[in-house]
Amino acid sequence: MALLTCRGLSLGYDGKEILRELSFEVNAGDYLCIVGENGSGKTTLMRTILGLQAPLKGRIETGEGFRLSEIGYLPQQTVVQRDFPASVWEIVLSGNLGRMGARPFYGREEKRRAREAIEKMELTPLTRRCYRELSGGQQQRVLLARALCAARRALLLDEPVAGLDPRVTAEMYEALERLNREEGVAVIMISHDVEAALRYADHILHIGDEVYFGTREDYLASPLAAGFLKGGEAK
């Protein structure tokens, strides 16, 4: 059974539909990119997957012992986040808060998870550095390590390379690919960078006036992909 299955979802606000009858699934180890024009409903879908709003219709199912609360989330970074006055260790460790229940202090297991996440993101030399002193790329890797502390099986990322220069963007994509291919982490990435989506993802969810869900190869062969790429939305 899939980790995450969306069946017949209709999404929107105040009873007004943005998306209708959306169905797709994410299996362990999948790399899914969600693409579409601005205003097509990508953010609404993200909020629904995270449980921040309910679908108008349809349902989201989970399998293999997976829970929606176990999705590690990397949001778009804001100016306030970039200037956060905490150490790398403190930020990564805080990714464990959702699993601590009523306990007021971090335990041995939470600290172990934080150390492992820092090592995987190659941040060990920066552990005690202040987050706001880091480069944009380093900050994104810190936030990705934090998301890994929250969940090891699935990550949801909203425009993770927005505002990064080409070199750092490539490094970020390489880190995600390593987590996906070597660690088996399912990646669900919302992106305007369609060229990168087609390079790294194995499945594509295209939402808008038309909806497509399937393999990258089938998407590339479809008229929908040709029209989308030609329209310049990949930029």
Q: Which domains does the chain have, with CATH numbers?
A: 1-71+154-163+185-235 (3.40.50.300), 76-150 (no CATH)
User: Which residues 6+ apart lie within 8 Å of 48 measured at CB?
Assistant: 9, 11, 54, 55, 60
Residue 36's pLDDT is 86
Higher confidence at residue 32 or residue 226?
32
Residue 77's pLDDT is 66
- d(CA 207, CA 93) in angstroms, rounded, equals 35
**Pairs from 79-86 (Cβ < 8 Å, separation ≥ 24):** 81/139, 81/143, 82/132, 82/136, 82/139, 83/132, 84/131, 84/132, 85/130, 85/131, 85/132, 86/130, 86/131
CA distances from 87 to 65, 77, 110, 143 (A): 33, 17, 16, 12
Higher confidence at residue 166 or residue 103?
166
pLDDT tier, 230 (very low <50, low <70, confident <90, very high otherwise) = low
What percent of the chain is modeled with pLDDT above 70? 92
Give the residue-averaged pLDDT of 136-152. 87
* pLDDT beyond 50 at 80: no
* pLDDT beyond 70 at 100: no
Could you tell me the maximum CA-CA distance found in the chain, to the nearest angstrom? 54
- d(CA 48, CA 55) in angstroms, rounded, equals 6
CA distances from 76 to 30, 149, 150, 207, 219 (A): 22, 18, 17, 20, 26
Q: pLDDT tens across 20-68, in order?
A: 899 999 999 999 999 988 888 898 999 999 989 999 999 999 998 888 8
Query: Rg of the chain's alpha carbons, rounded to an integer?
Result: 18
- d(CA 62, CA 55) in angstroms, rounded, equals 15
Higher confidence at residue 142 or residue 78?
142
* pLDDT beyond 50 at 235: no
Q: pLDDT tens across 12-27, in order?
A: 888 788 888 999 999 9
Residue 233's pLDDT is 46
* pLDDT beyond 90 at 76: no
The predicted model scores a pTM of: 0.85
**Chain-wide mean pLDDT for the chain?**
86
